[in-house]
A and B are shown apart, each in its own frame.
Chain A
C-alpha cells in the first residue's frame, strides 16, 4: 500500500476550488436575497394598491343641507304637542322627510323648475339623507318647528365625481351624471356646501344596496361571532385530540391510520367542508341558515385537522427528558401532560391554532354553501342571526356592477387585513406570555 501524496493547499487548483466555493456561496446568498426583495416588493405593490383604492372607501362626500322642520308638514302633530313634549314617535317616523330634503335642495337652487329637473337635483343626495333626518328628529323631537343644518351623504355618482376632482372627460351620454348635475355639483363646491371627509359610517354601518351607505360593521361582527364559535369548538377539541393521540394512544396500526386520515383531512378543499356543514348542520340538525353558529361549526371542522397536527408536532417537540423527570418523580400521565408537556407545547399549539384561525377568517367557499352569502343589512346580534363575514362581503361587493363598490371592496380588504393583524398580535402576545413564564 503506497502512502497518499501530500496535499498542496496552495496550488492553483486548490485556489480555484476555493474561489469557486466562495462564488457559489455568494450566488446562493444573492439569489436568496433577491427572492426576499422580490417577495417584499410584491407585497408592497399589493398593499399600496389596495390601500390607495381602499382609502377612498373610508371617505365620503357630504352635502350641506339646511332644512326647515315645519310642524305643519307633519300630519297629526301640532305645535302644542311639541311644546308639551307629547309628540307621538310613530308620527315622527312617518314624517315627509323625502319632501323636506327635496325642498331644502330646491331652496339652494331656486331657479330649478320642472318635475324632471327637480328629480335630477334630488339625485345629488343619497336616499340615506331622509333616513338621517328621520333619526335625528326621532332622537330629539324638540327640533320640530326649527331649522336644522346637517351634512348628508351625497349620491354615489356625486361621490365619484368629487373624488375624481370634479373633472370628467367622458361624453354625457356615457356617464350617469348629466352636464346639468355636474354643474350643480360644481356650484355646491364653490359655495362650500360640499365636503369629502373621513367618515366612520363605513366602519359602523351594515351592508346596503346603495354604495354610499354600505358599511362593513355587519361583516366584522359576523366574522367575530363566527370565529368565536370556531375557536371555542376547534381549539379545545383539537388540543385534546392532539394530547390523546400523542401522549396516551397506543402507537399501532389504528393510530397510524388515524394520523394518515387527519393529514388527509387537512388537505381536503374547504368547499367540501361547506357541503358537509350543509348536510349535517342545516339539513340534519335544521339549524338556522346564514347563522354564525353554523358558519363557526363548519369552519371548526375545517380547522380541526390543522390544530391537531400543529398540536401533535408541538407536543412531540417537548424534550422527553422533561417527561422522564416528572414520571420519575411519580407524576401520573395526566400530571406529566398537564403540568409539564402541555405548558411547554403551548406556544407551538397557539401558533398552529392561529394559522388555522387565520385560514378560517379568510375562508369564503364553505360559507357560501351554508347561506352566509346572503345580503344582510342588520348588524348580527346573536349567534343565530343572519350574518355574513368579511371575505364573503368582499366577494359580494366585488361582484356588484356599481363602480363605487370597488373602493368599498378594497376598503373591506383593508379591514380584513387589520382584523388579521389584531388576531395575530393577540396570538403573539399570548405566546410570549406563555414563554416568559419559563
Chain B
C-alpha cells in the first residue's frame, strides 16, 4: 500500500477520535482559552503541605513553563494534572482542576482515559525495554486506537516523524529503545506520548539529563508540537523557559508567586521574589 493511502486513513481516524472527544466533552463555560484551570489546589504528602492553594490557567496551543527552585512543588503540581500523584501512597489533592471545564478529580472520571488525553514526558528518558516500534505503538495498542499491523506501522511512522526521530531510526525500528542515545530516547518518549493523540503534554524537566545539542533539538520540537498540543513544561533552566514558553508561572515553597506572559515575567516581574529568582539571587 502506498504512503498516500496510509495518510488518508490516518486523517480519518484522527478526525474520528477528536470528534468523539468533543461529543463526550460538551463545551462548558470555559474561561478564556483555558485548557486546564486549577482552582485553589492543595497537595498534601501525609501531613506535609506541598502545594498551598494554587490557581492557574493553562492555555490551549501554548507552552506554559513552571519554574522555581528545587522542592517548590512545580513537579508535584504538574503531576496533579494527569493524576500521576494518585500512584503515590499518602498523597492527597484538594481543590478543583478542570480540563475543558470538567473536574478531573471527579470520582466519575476515568483516570486511564484522562492520562491518554494528558500525556507525560519524564525527567529521565524512560523508554520501555522493548523495540522502538513497540515503544511507540504501546499506547495506541492498549487504548485500541489502532489494532492492525498496517495501522500500527502508520501510527509509529507519523509519531516518530512528528518527534523528529524518524530519519534516525526508520531502518532499525526492531532494535531496543534503550539502545538509543539519551536525546534520542527522550524524543522516543515524546513520540510515544503523542502516539495516542493527547490534548495536553506534560513535560517534567525533559532536558535535565541531556547535553546542550540534544536539548536544543527537544526545544525545537516543543515549539513545533505547540501547534497541535497544549504543553506544560517544568524546567530548572530559566533560559529554557524563556526560549520555549509563552506563559510562565513561578513557584516558591509550594505557592504560586507569579504567573503571566513569559516576556513580562522575565523582563518586568511584579514580585520581588520572582525578580530575585530570575536574576539568580537564590534558587
A residues lining the B interface (CB < 8 Å)? 250-251, 319, 321-332, 335, 339-340, 344, 438
Closest to B114 in A: A330
A324 partner, pick from B89, B126, B127, B138, beta carbons under 8 A: B126
Q: Are B89 and A250 in contact (CB under 8 A)?
A: yes
Q: Are A330 and B87 in contact (CB under 8 A)?
A: no
A161 and B189 CA atoms in complex are apart in Å by 76
Q: Which residues of B contact A325 (CB under 8 A)?
A: 122, 126-128, 189, 192
Q: Are A329 and B196 in contact (CB under 8 A)?
A: yes
Whether, in the assembled complex, B115 has its beta carbon less than 8 Å from a beta carbon of chain A, the answer is yes
Q: Which residues of A contact B129 (CB under 8 A)?
A: 322, 344, 438
B residues lining the A interface (CB < 8 Å)? 82, 84, 87, 89, 112-116, 119-120, 122, 124, 126-130, 138-139, 142-143, 176, 178, 189, 192-193, 196
A211 and B232 CA atoms in complex are apart in Å by 80
Q: Are B115 and A330 in contact (CB under 8 A)?
A: yes
Q: Are A328 and B113 in contact (CB under 8 A)?
A: no
A248 to chain B, nearest CB (A): 12
A246 to chain B, nearest CB (A): 13
Q: Which residues of A contact B196 (CB under 8 A)?
A: 329-330
Q: Which residues of B contact A321 (CB under 8 A)?
A: 122, 124, 126
Q: Are A330 and B139 in contact (CB under 8 A)?
A: yes
B152 to chain A, nearest CB (A): 15
Q: Which residues of B contact A332 (CB under 8 A)?
A: 112
Closest to A438 in B: B129
A251 partner, pick from B89, B112, B142, B143, beta carbons under 8 A: B89
A327 and B114 CA atoms in complex are apart in Å by 11
Q: Are B142 and A331 in contact (CB under 8 A)?
A: yes
A352 to chain B, nearest CB (A): 20
For this complex, 16 residue pairs linking A to B, each with C-beta atoms less than 8 Å apart, are A321-B122, A322-B126, A324-B122, A324-B126, A325-B127, A325-B128, A327-B87, A328-B84, A329-B116, A330-B113, A331-B112, A331-B138, A332-B112, A339-B142, A438-B176, A438-B178
Q: Which residues of B contact A328 (CB under 8 A)?
A: 82, 84, 115, 119-120, 122, 193
Q: Are A438 and B130 in contact (CB under 8 A)?
A: yes
- Do A330 and B89 contact each other (CB < 8 Å), given the known contacts A325-B122, A344-B129, A438-B176? no
A329 partner, pick from B87, B89, B192, beta carbons under 8 A: B192
A409 and B123 CA atoms in complex are apart in Å by 61
* Most chain A CB neighbours (cut-off 10 Å) among B114, B115, B122, B127: B115
Q: Which residues of B contact A326 (CB under 8 A)?
A: 128, 138
A32 to chain B, nearest CB (A): 34
Q: Which residues of A contact B143 (CB under 8 A)?
A: 330
Q: Are A327 and B128 in contact (CB under 8 A)?
A: no
Q: Are A327 and B84 in contact (CB under 8 A)?
A: yes
Q: Are B130 and A329 in contact (CB under 8 A)?
A: no
Q: Are B122 and A335 in contact (CB under 8 A)?
A: no
Q: Which residues of A contact B84 (CB under 8 A)?
A: 324, 327-328
A319 and B192 CA atoms in complex are apart in Å by 19
Task: Knowing that A325-B127, A331-B112 touch, tell me 7 more A-B residue pairs with CB under 8 angstroms.
Answer: A324-B84, A325-B192, A327-B115, A329-B142, A329-B193, A330-B142, A331-B142
Q: Which residues of A contact B139 (CB under 8 A)?
A: 329-330
Closest to A319 in B: B126
A192 to chain B, nearest CB (A): 67
Q: Are B112 and A330 in contact (CB under 8 A)?
A: yes
A330 and B118 CA atoms in complex are apart in Å by 9
Q: Which residues of B contact A330 (CB under 8 A)?
A: 112-116, 139, 142-143, 196
A197 and B241 CA atoms in complex are apart in Å by 85
Q: Are B115 and A329 in contact (CB under 8 A)?
A: yes
Q: Which residues of B contact A322 (CB under 8 A)?
A: 126, 128-129
Q: Which residues of A contact B130 (CB under 8 A)?
A: 438
A44 and B185 CA atoms in complex are apart in Å by 49
Q: Which residues of B contact A335 (CB under 8 A)?
A: 142
A251 and B82 CA atoms in complex are apart in Å by 23
* Most chain A CB neighbours (cut-off 10 Å) among B112, B192, B193: B112
Closest to B117 in A: A330
A378 and B83 CA atoms in complex are apart in Å by 63
Q: Which residues of A contact B89 (CB under 8 A)?
A: 250-251
A324 and B87 CA atoms in complex are apart in Å by 9
A371 and B28 CA atoms in complex are apart in Å by 74
Q: Are A329 and B124 in contact (CB under 8 A)?
A: no
A339 and B129 CA atoms in complex are apart in Å by 11
A318 to chain B, nearest CB (A): 10
* Most chain B CB neighbours (cut-off 10 Å) among A250, A319, A330, A335: A330
B26 to chain A, nearest CB (A): 22
Q: Which residues of B contact A329 (CB under 8 A)?
A: 115-116, 119-120, 138-139, 142, 192-193, 196
Q: Which residues of A contact B122 (CB under 8 A)?
A: 321, 324-325, 328
- Do A340 and B128 contact each other (CB < 8 Å), given the known contacts A330-B139, A331-B142? yes
Q: Which residues of B contact A340 (CB under 8 A)?
A: 128
A305 to chain B, nearest CB (A): 24
Q: Which residues of B contact A319 (CB under 8 A)?
A: 126
B107 to chain A, nearest CB (A): 17
Closest to B140 in A: A329
A347 to chain B, nearest CB (A): 12
A348 to chain B, nearest CB (A): 14
B166 to chain A, nearest CB (A): 20
Q: Which residues of A contact B126 (CB under 8 A)?
A: 319, 321-322, 324-325
A204 to chain B, nearest CB (A): 46
A427 to chain B, nearest CB (A): 21
A204 and B89 CA atoms in complex are apart in Å by 58
Q: Which residues of A contact B178 (CB under 8 A)?
A: 438
A438 and B128 CA atoms in complex are apart in Å by 9
* Most chain B CB neighbours (cut-off 10 Å) among A324, A329, A331, A332: A329
Q: Which residues of B contact A250 (CB under 8 A)?
A: 89
A193 and B226 CA atoms in complex are apart in Å by 95
Q: Which residues of A contact B127 (CB under 8 A)?
A: 325
* Most chain A CB neighbours (cut-off 10 Å) among B87, B127, B193: B87
A321 and B123 CA atoms in complex are apart in Å by 9
A326 and B176 CA atoms in complex are apart in Å by 17
Q: Which residues of A contact B128 (CB under 8 A)?
A: 322, 325-326, 340
A331 and B127 CA atoms in complex are apart in Å by 15
Closest to A332 in B: B112
Closest to A328 in B: B120
